[in-house]
Chains A and B, each alone.
Chain A
Amino acid sequence: MKLRKGKERSQGPLFISGPVILIVLGLVLYPLLMLFLFSLGINLHDPNITGAYYLQALSDIKTMVALKNTLYVAGGVTAVAILLGGGLAWLVARTDIPHKRLIEIIVFLTFTIPSYILAVAWIQLLGRNGFINRLLYEKWQFIAEPLDIYSLEGIILVMALHSFPLVFMALVSALKMNDKTLEMAARLAGASRMKALFTVTLPLMLPNILSVGLLVFQQTMACFGVAAVIGLPTSNYVLTTRIYSAMSRLDLPSAASTSMILLLCSGVVFCLYNYSLRSKRYININSQSRKAEPVSLGSWKMPMFIGVFLLLSVTTIIPLGSVVATSFLKSWGLSLRFENMTINNYLTIFGGQTIAFRAFFNSITFAFIAATVTAIIGTIISYLSTRTTIKGRKYLEFVATWPLTVPGTVLAVAAVLAWINAPLRIYGTPWILLITYIVACLPFGVRNINGLLQGMDPLLEDAARVSGASWLRTFKDITLPLITPGIKAGWITAFLLVLREIPISILLYSAGAETIGVLLYSMRSDTGGLETVSAVAVILIVLIVAGNVLIGKFGKPRKEATNDPS
């Protein structure tokens, strides 16, 4: 593709870039800047407060423990997710294990369950009075001590089960794209199947494994919900929950400095991840290479499949079943008999004046507005960055995608610091929630559309101009229809993100503006309402599955989108 540098070229109305730049800088950069300044002890509104909050935080043994715990959990989750997801990916991509599609669907389903709901489901199963402990410990006395979900290992278990689908999906596609002739060459050179796997396939996959591992590591560090519901009852703090508890004590200095520490860790890992994405392509991906003969599992075929199925039952089907069953129960604790079932839990969400109804209504409203605003800003930013020559367009794109590296908890703290003082005081109103959601969603809007715009030949637009279409007409007739899949995918991603978002919601909501996240978070207190909340969770999962199916439909490389005549 030729790069256009002609500065005289008419680029359409650039006046729109002004407000967009202002919005992006105001919403993304300003809060993070406030966070940074505040953490240094520089307070614009109360210059008396100065001090080394960092020294305070770093000398606080609790912060150091939380940091250590964060790294331990993230490392553990990454290791387990890679083993589980990688092994499964190899089975599906390279062996003749039966029902591959079924396995892929179940793993995908696991991916769609919000981690927080997964955690609650596991508490229902592994809590002291949980189903598994009752069976293994009390009934069969299979184990000497009841299993304890309320531990760092419990967090690792749930987060790993939540994250392994990511590894699985990344490695399946990498294994499928990997040039199979390389493995064949190794076999011809005399290597056994296992030898070929360990000397050729695995080393070639290493960059991919590293990449997705870093992504899982970063996401685990940023995760709040699971760590809160499992860690907080027994005071097992990680950085996100430590920030949260500082916020609930209204200890802003500690929250700010801990946020900066988390932001730094997360940012470093994310940079490594981005770097690994860029540098990993040392293998020639040869799309024409022949399909390798799948490794025959022989008589292990069925036992292997049953094993995988049992594993997936534990990771997905049982927790999901537990949530679905609870959502139909008249009251949590009742046994699963038909006379105990009801659909009232669902009816109250859609009909009543309950908090569940309100939360649902609020979240959908927020999600709708945030997704729409994100889609519009994302389109404009992507267009500016790929189709114009205005100065600083790449910086604009960078700032807009930056929130990807910022954990929700940190975004919330930054929002509080930015929007708490007059004249910009919107803290305590629904606006602060909306604005912070938009910031959190912005990267997805930009990334989805940017990808399509970059892949789209600018000559298509030139052809329209030469045919007599004005800039606006060209945008409407050519550009917009071709990036619509990206806009839709970005919109849906943003919509779903807001629906299941927890830390921003619980740190920034005000009375009357409760969201699904707030509602879900109240799920950990086992005092009633669990049935209704489970019903919310089920609806949420259905929406997420539907949304992802739609994205899959849009995200598919459309055949007509590749206009390569050769």
Chain B
Amino acid sequence: MIQAEIADLSKKYGKEVVINDLNLRINKGEVLAVVGPSGCGKTTLLQIIAGLTGAEKGSVVLAGRTLLSVERNISVLPEKRKIAMVFQNYALWPHYNVWQNISYALRVRGVEKSKCEKIVKETMEMVRLEGKQKRYPHELSGGEQQRVALARALVIRPDLLLFDESLSNLDAKMKEKMLREIKKIQQELRLTIVHVTHDQHEAMGMADRIAVMNKGRIEQVGVVEEVYKYPVTQFVAGFIGTANFISGSSDDITESKLWRRAVRAAGNENEIQEKEKLLSVRPEDVIIKREKGEIIGTVAKAIYRGNAIDYEIMAGKRLLYVRTGTRNLYELGAEVSIDMVRAVAIKCN
């Protein structure tokens, strides 16, 4: 079931196009991560959904209600949208204590006091902030501030919850923990979440589906595994995970050998030869061996990751990213043969 639908959305700042004819559907009860590099328009997208900024074209429909339709001249005020947002810097009100911050949305709506108290108490338990009611934002740790921001967004049980780079200020361990907790709460309350981030790991940690955004457009939407395994464009392949791009149009001998090998790994040889000029190969799909082989390279760099080793292999004139297990170690300068087990044809951009 579709909870929200964004159609034909365009937004300009002056002459600069920030959102370019964007379409996106959000299913009820899912976490959709919108990832993209900074400046790709993802924060603007959230602001348009929340009603904090307008658009030149397009519409936003949430739970059957049209929130924005430029064509029909509809623009629901942000306070009437039943959308909640967790901001990047949390935007906690410094002059309100934790209780006042969290209860604000209920108080503004004139919710009866006893009911308000009950909801705030429940929510504070949910985000594990018990006993912190009287604290002021500056008296809280970064993680606690994050929880207050989350609780503040949860109290109204929003139709749509927006995360704007909300976890980027936490350290890696804390981020992991928060992701798990948020996921749990999301499933409990069956919330619909749009999570905007530039961090692919953060996106994968919580999302059911990922939308990869670039230059104001959504390049690909799909479940996490699908987007990783079958990227449709060069941008998506490079942004989600690491990829080696191999082109068929090179004159270099090693490059042509790589290309032929990759085509075989991709299957459907004829089709690719005809239509596409670029293949994407994930580092873990490149195999290196000491035995002599058809394609030869030398180890240019090795980074020990603990559970894996990342190599950069000089093959002809190019570097190839390779990820291997820790069983076989190759010293710098070692000559290795290169093989590939999987490749995907992508659109060049």
State yes or no: do A and B come from one complex.
yes
Q: Which residues of A contact B (CB under 8 A)?
A: 2, 4-10, 457, 459-460, 462-470, 473, 477-478, 481-482, 558-566
CA–CA, A459 to B47, complex, Å?
A: 11
Q: B55 — which chain A residues lie within 8 A by C-beta? A: 8
CA–CA, A2 to B83, complex, Å?
A: 21
Residue in B closest to A6 when the chains form the complex, CB atoms: B53
Near A by CB (< 8 A), chain B positions 132-185 give 136-138, 142, 145-146, 152, 156, 169
| A interface: dominant SS | loop
Query: Contacts A6-B54, A8-B53, A481-B95 hold; do A467 and B90 have CB atoms under 8 A apart?
Result: no
The minimal Cβ–Cβ distance linking B279 to chain A, given in whole angstroms, is: 39
Query: Is there contact, CB below 8 Å, between A563 and B85?
Result: no
Near A by CB (< 8 A), chain B positions 303-329 give none
Q: A5 — which chain B residues lie within 8 A by C-beta? A: 13-14
The minimal Cβ–Cβ distance linking B75 to chain A, given in whole angstroms, is: 7
Q: B87 — which chain A residues lie within 8 A by C-beta? A: 459, 462-463
Contact of B93 among A2, A7, A463, A466 (CB under 8 A): A463
Extra contacts, 5 of them, besides A465-B51, A558-B94, A565-B90 (Cβ < 8 A), are A6-B52, A462-B47, A463-B93, A464-B104, A560-B136
Query: Is there contact, CB below 8 Å, between A459 and B78?
Result: no
CA–CA, A482 to B95, complex, Å?
A: 7
* B200 contacts the other chain (CB 8 A): no
Query: Contacts A460-B91, A564-B89, A565-B169 hold; do A468 and B156 have CB atoms under 8 A apart?
Result: yes
Q: B83 — which chain A residues lie within 8 A by C-beta? A: 466
* B66 contacts the other chain (CB 8 A): no
Query: Contacts A466-B52, A481-B95, A565-B169 hold; do A560 and B105 have CB atoms under 8 A apart?
Result: no
Q: Which 9 A-B pairs have the closest CB atoms?
A: A8-B54, A6-B53, A467-B105, A560-B94, A459-B91, A463-B91, A465-B78, A560-B138, A468-B108
Query: Is there contact, CB below 8 Å, between B138 and A465?
Result: no
The minimal Cβ–Cβ distance linking B48 to chain A, given in whole angstroms, is: 8
* B346 contacts the other chain (CB 8 A): no
Residue in B closest to A2 when the chains form the complex, CB atoms: B43
Query: Is there contact, CB below 8 Å, between B92 and A563?
Result: yes
* B109 contacts the other chain (CB 8 A): yes
CA–CA, A558 to B89, complex, Å?
A: 18
Residue in B closest to A467 when the chains form the complex, CB atoms: B105
CA–CA, A459 to B55, complex, Å?
A: 19
Query: Contacts A560-B95, A560-B138 hold; do A467 and B104 have CB atoms under 8 A apart?
Result: yes
CA–CA, A183 to B54, complex, Å?
A: 52
The minimal Cβ–Cβ distance linking A467 to chain B, given in whole angstroms, is: 4
A-B contact pairs, 25 of them (CB 8 A): A6-B47, A8-B75, A9-B53, A457-B89, A460-B93, A462-B87, A463-B85, A463-B91, A463-B93, A464-B104, A465-B52, A465-B78, A466-B81, A466-B84, A467-B104, A468-B105, A468-B109, A468-B156, A469-B108, A470-B77, A473-B108, A477-B104, A560-B138, A564-B89, A565-B145
Near A by CB (< 8 A), chain B positions 84-115 give 84-85, 87-95, 104-105, 108-109
Q: A8 — which chain B residues lie within 8 A by C-beta? A: 53-55, 75
Number of chain B residues close to chain A: CB under 8 A: 42
The minimal Cβ–Cβ distance linking A10 to chain B, given in whole angstroms, is: 6
* B50 contacts the other chain (CB 8 A): yes
Query: Is there contact, CB below 8 Å, between B54 and A457?
Result: no
* B79 contacts the other chain (CB 8 A): yes
Q: B11 — which chain A residues lie within 8 A by C-beta? A: 6
Query: Is there contact, CB below 8 Å, between B91 and A467?
Result: no
Query: Is there contact, CB below 8 Å, between A469 and B91?
Result: no
CA–CA, A4 to B50, complex, Å?
A: 14
Q: B91 — which chain A residues lie within 8 A by C-beta? A: 457, 459-460, 462-463, 563
Query: Is there contact, CB below 8 Å, between B104 and A562?
Result: no
Q: A463 — which chain B residues lie within 8 A by C-beta? A: 85, 87, 91-93, 152
Contact of A7 among B54, B95, B105, B152 (CB under 8 A): B54
Residue in A closest to B88 when the chains form the complex, CB atoms: A459
Query: Is there contact, CB below 8 Å, between A482 and B169?
Result: no
The minimal Cβ–Cβ distance linking A137 to chain B, given in whole angstroms, is: 61
Q: B80 — which chain A residues lie within 8 A by C-beta? A: 468
CA–CA, A77 to B106, complex, Å?
A: 60
Q: A465 — which chain B residues lie within 8 A by C-beta? A: 51-52, 77-79
Q: B85 — which chain A residues lie within 8 A by C-beta? A: 462-463, 466
Residue in B closest to A465 when the chains form the complex, CB atoms: B78
Residue in A closest to B11 when the chains form the complex, CB atoms: A6
User: A-B contact count, CB below 8 Å?
Assistant: 109
Q: B75 — which chain A residues lie within 8 A by C-beta? A: 8
Query: Contacts A465-B78, A468-B109, A482-B95 hold; do A9 and B52 have CB atoms under 8 A apart?
Result: yes
Contact of B137 among A467, A482, A563 (CB under 8 A): A563
The minimal Cβ–Cβ distance linking B143 to chain A, given in whole angstroms, is: 9
Q: B146 — which chain A residues lie within 8 A by C-beta? A: 565
Contact of A468 among B79, B138, B169 (CB under 8 A): B79
Query: Is there contact, CB below 8 Å, between B77 and A462?
Result: no
Q: A478 — which chain B residues lie within 8 A by C-beta? A: 93
The minimal Cβ–Cβ distance linking A355 to chain B, given in whole angstroms, is: 46
Residue in B closest to A462 when the chains form the complex, CB atoms: B52
Query: Contacts A6-B53, A8-B75, A467-B84 hold; do A565 and B43 have CB atoms under 8 A apart?
Result: no
Residue in A closest to B103 when the chains form the complex, CB atoms: A467
Query: Contacts A6-B53, A470-B77 hold; do A563 and B108 have CB atoms under 8 A apart?
Result: no
Query: Contacts A2-B43, A462-B87, A563-B138 hold; do A469 and B79 have CB atoms under 8 A apart?
Result: yes
The minimal Cβ–Cβ distance linking B213 to chain A, given in whole angstroms, is: 17
CA–CA, A368 to B83, complex, Å?
A: 45
Query: Is there contact, CB below 8 Å, between B108 and A561?
Result: no
CA–CA, A179 to B65, complex, Å?
A: 57
Contact of A10 among B14, B77, B84, B92 (CB under 8 A): B77
Query: Is there contact, CB below 8 Å, between B79 and A466?
Result: yes
Residue of B14, B84, B91 with most chain A CB atoms under a 10 A cut-off: B91
Residue of A5, A457, A482 with most chain B CB atoms under a 10 A cut-off: A5
CA–CA, A558 to B95, complex, Å?
A: 10
The minimal Cβ–Cβ distance linking B107 to chain A, given in whole angstroms, is: 9
Query: Is there contact, CB below 8 Å, between A470 and B79?
Result: yes
The minimal Cβ–Cβ distance linking B163 to chain A, given in whole angstroms, is: 12
Residue of A10, A466, A559, A560 with most chain B CB atoms under a 10 A cut-off: A466
CA–CA, A477 to B77, complex, Å?
A: 18
The minimal Cβ–Cβ distance linking A387 to chain B, given in whole angstroms, is: 13
CA–CA, A463 to B96, complex, Å?
A: 13
Query: Is there contact, CB below 8 Å, between B152 and A467?
Result: yes
The minimal Cβ–Cβ distance linking A499 to chain B, given in whole angstroms, is: 31
Q: A469 — which chain B residues lie within 8 A by C-beta? A: 79, 104, 108
The minimal Cβ–Cβ distance linking A22 to chain B, given in whole angstroms, is: 29
CA–CA, A464 to B95, complex, Å?
A: 13
Q: A565 — which chain B residues lie within 8 A by C-beta? A: 89-90, 142, 145-146, 169
Contact of A560 among B13, B47, B78, B137 (CB under 8 A): B137
Q: B169 — which chain A residues lie within 8 A by C-beta? A: 565-566
Contact of A561 among B13, B47, B94 (CB under 8 A): B94
Q: B53 — which chain A residues lie within 8 A by C-beta? A: 4, 6, 8-9
The minimal Cβ–Cβ distance linking A426 to chain B, given in whole angstroms, is: 41
Query: Is there contact, CB below 8 Å, between B79 and A467?
Result: yes
Q: A466 — which chain B residues lie within 8 A by C-beta? A: 50-52, 78-79, 81, 83-85
CA–CA, A478 to B90, complex, Å?
A: 15
Q: A457 — which chain B residues lie within 8 A by C-beta? A: 89, 91
Q: A561 — which chain B residues lie within 8 A by C-beta? A: 94
Query: Is there contact, CB below 8 Å, between B78 and A562?
Result: no
The minimal Cβ–Cβ distance linking A481 to chain B, given in whole angstroms, is: 5
Q: A470 — which chain B residues lie within 8 A by C-beta? A: 77, 79
The minimal Cβ–Cβ distance linking B154 to chain A, given in whole angstroms, is: 11
The minimal Cβ–Cβ distance linking A183 to chain B, given in whole angstroms, is: 33
Q: B109 — which chain A residues lie within 8 A by C-beta? A: 468
Q: B79 — which chain A residues lie within 8 A by C-beta? A: 465-470
CA–CA, A283 to B287, complex, Å?
A: 52
The minimal Cβ–Cβ distance linking B283 to chain A, given in whole angstroms, is: 32
CA–CA, A558 to B54, complex, Å?
A: 34
CA–CA, A495 to B168, complex, Å?
A: 46
CA–CA, A168 to B218, complex, Å?
A: 58
Query: Is there contact, CB below 8 Å, between B108 and A482?
Result: no
